[in-house]
Amino acid sequence: MKPDRLKRKLRIRSKISGTKTRPRVAVFRSNKYLYLQAIDDEKKVTLAAASSLKDKNPAAKLAKALLDGKIKKIVFDRGGYQYHGQVKKIADELRKEGLEF
């Protein structure tokens, strides 16, 4: 991981935290795929996950799983990535599906 991205990631993570009622949605971008997780940081448990490995639209799948669990509000963790391109597209899709952040 590049040093600047690591610093950004740690700075962001020190300011945000997820709970059971308002989980943190973390984004990880590999060279080929996107991975999303809804995390309860208090219990250190993943509530839902989705990836572009199997799904064409992982944001819609994650939003559906969260809405099925009666969760409408989230905290968006871009993981040190710039809010641009694929990360912005994921955020817009989550908002379109009905999640608030």
CB atoms within 10 A of CB 18: 22
Q: Do 78 and 92 form a contact (C-beta atoms < 8 A)?
A: no
Q: Cα Rg for the chain, rounded, in angstroms?
A: 13
What is this structure's pTM? 0.88
> What domains are there in the chain, each with its CATH number?
3-96 (3.30.420.100)
Q: How confident is the model at residue 64 (pLDDT cuts 50, 70, 90)?
A: very high
pLDDT computed for residue 5 by the predictor: 85
pLDDT computed for residue 1 by the predictor: 77
